[in-house]
Amino acid sequence: MIRAMAHRVQELLVQVVLAIFPKATFGKPSCQLRARDVPAEAEGGNGFWLSWRLAVEANNMSAWRTVPPQCQRHVESYMTGGQYEQDLKLIVDQVTAYANGITVSNDGMDAWILDIDDTIISNMLYYKGKRYGCDPFDATGFKAWAARGECPAIPAVLGLFKKLVDDGFKVILLTGRDQETLGPATFNNLRNQGFHGYERLIMKTQAYKGQRAITYKSDIRRQLEEEGYRIWGNVGDQWSDLQGQFVGKRTFKIPNPMYFVR
């Protein structure tokens, strides 16, 4: 009888617990995870950053204005921790392999086009102060930075530049920088960083003021082809460097998760 009474008391206790905690579960835990159960910091985890960067480099994240705040430390780690340099080396190796397969003619019209900012010289020191792209673009601040003429060369691309020049290609530097305000500073910056022997430095003039990068650079490339240049390759860190018309026989994208230029 005592055993039966104890069993009855146990049943009553279970009923009381279920009445007080109706959503409690016992036994095997559920493997379903609701969105609200995911920790807030998970969105800023490495997985989100890797997906976001892939979307950026594949041009699936078009017209983004700033880097998501939860990606700031990942962008910093990527740009300063060695992975950026490894990615650059792989890309430069591919460019070099392609260029090695081209027979340069004697007419001086075999050309390559290289963008400038964050393609051959780096603005990472400037963007460090802008939380690696988490802050909105500051046109006045960037112009003041560029006017100092202190952008360091990107070593891997400087090596590529020298090889193309040595191989007999006409290297044309095409940038969206304003010629009137940044011309001398840009010329001196490039010279001081070891960029010698290029064919032309083409900067944005008043004739292209207000035009998007794709429109401006397409028109410049059209003019170059009309002059007889054969554009074998086109290298840039922005998709707007590589899209539009007359883009060349091959394009190569340099990684840049810090900003987007339309």
pLDDT tens, position by position, 14-52: 454 444 444 443 343 333 333 333 343 445 578 999 999
Which tokens is 136 given?
A: 């909105």
| Spatial distance between the Cα atoms of 173 and 89, rounded to a whole number of angstroms | 20
pLDDT computed for residue 10 by the predictor:
56
pLDDT tens, position by position, 221-248: 999 999 999 999 999 999 999 999 999 9
Buried b (16+ CB within 10 A) or exposed e, 206-243: eebeeeebbebbbbbbeebbeeebbbbbbbbbbbbbbe
pLDDT tens, position by position, 106-129: 999 999 999 999 999 999 999 999
| Spatial distance between the Cα atoms of 237 and 257, rounded to a whole number of angstroms | 9
- Whether this prediction's pTM lies above 0.85 is answered by no
* Proportion of the chain in helix, strand, coil states, percent, rounded to 5: 50, 15, 35
The answer to whether residues 171 and 112 touch, using CB atoms and an 8 Å cutoff, is: yes
Amino acid code (one letter) for 18 = L
In residues, how long is the chain?
A: 262
